[in-house]
Amino acid sequence: MEELLAYAILLFEKIIAEEIYENRLYEMFIEDCKNEMLLYLVWENNIKNAISFIRTNVDYDNFNHKIFGKVLMGLLKKYYSDCKDINLFGYKMYTLWESLPGNIQDIEPFWTLSYADDPLSWKDEQQSRELYEKAFNYYEE
């Protein structure tokens, strides 16, 4: 469910399209068609209800932040490469960080999303880019 939560948060923040979320949901359902949560989500037509369902049904006590982070950072890396405005990107990353589960906000690489846009305020785009790129590659090291 960690992977689907990453997709749901990115969809909620308008970082990925609904189609990307739905495609991954259907792939997951095909792999595990007996999963009642996935079945519910496949049939849920209201995307806001689906996101709410995912957020409230994740087991945060046994949350695998590595699975979540690998998916989240992989999708963010693509969004970053497609984004033309680093200031807008920085703003979106801070609001994304606010949407993350509270139990992972203060650990890396998620914590970086809360401050990596700070150097932009003194026109140091290079430092912000280095911080973001290090976060995106966190699980590859």
- Confidence check: pLDDT of 141 > 70: no
Asked whether the whole model's pTM tops 0.85, one would answer yes
CA 31 to chain centroid: 22
Torsion of CA 35, 38, 39, 45, to 10 degrees: 170
Q: pLDDT of 64-110, one tens digit each? A: 999 999 999 999 999 999 999 999 999 999 999 999 999 999 999 99
Distance CA 132, CA 17 (A): 21
Q: pLDDT of 18-69, one tens digit each? A: 999 999 999 999 999 999 999 999 999 899 999 999 999 999 989 999 999 9
Distance CA 40, CA 30 (A): 13
CA-to-CA dists, residue 107 to 46, 56, 65, 117, angstroms: 32, 21, 10, 17
